[in-house]
Amino acid sequence: MPGLQQFPRHERLTQKREFVAIYEHGKKWVGPNFVCYAVRRAGQSRKLGLSVSRKVGGAVVRNRVKRYIREVYRTHRAQLRDDVQLAIVARHSSSRLSYRECEESIRDLFRQGDMLNG
């Protein structure tokens, strides 16, 4: 069923105040390619926000990195805890990653932060 694997709008962080709240009140895990901020909020659904600055590369590179991050989230969101809200910040080194390397790097951060079920 195609609808089950979408990345719906209600699971996106879209406003600056949502990012600021996660940066200020959440925990931070730093990897070589990404920085992950996460906060667990009981009663709220999981959400994802992305930040990929111009330091990562040109528009084509930034868009590719964002696609990779969204795809990793989309394919692994069933394994994520229901009340976690994430903000993932790409570092410059993420511009050289393949999708598999990107996936492994982000999954490492999920494991460090105990964001996966089970």
Q: Write the pLDDT tens digit of every residue in 62-90.
A: 999 999 999 999 988 888 888 899 999 99
Greatest CA separation for the chain: 39
- Sketch out the chain's domains with CATH numbers: 11-112 (3.30.230.10)
pTM of the model: 0.89
Q: Write out pLDDT tens, residues 16-60.
A: 999 999 999 999 999 999 999 999 888 788 899 999 999 999 999
Q: Is the predicted pLDDT of residue 92 greater than 70, yes or no?
A: yes
Are the C-beta atoms of residues 50 and 69 closer than 8 Å to each other? yes
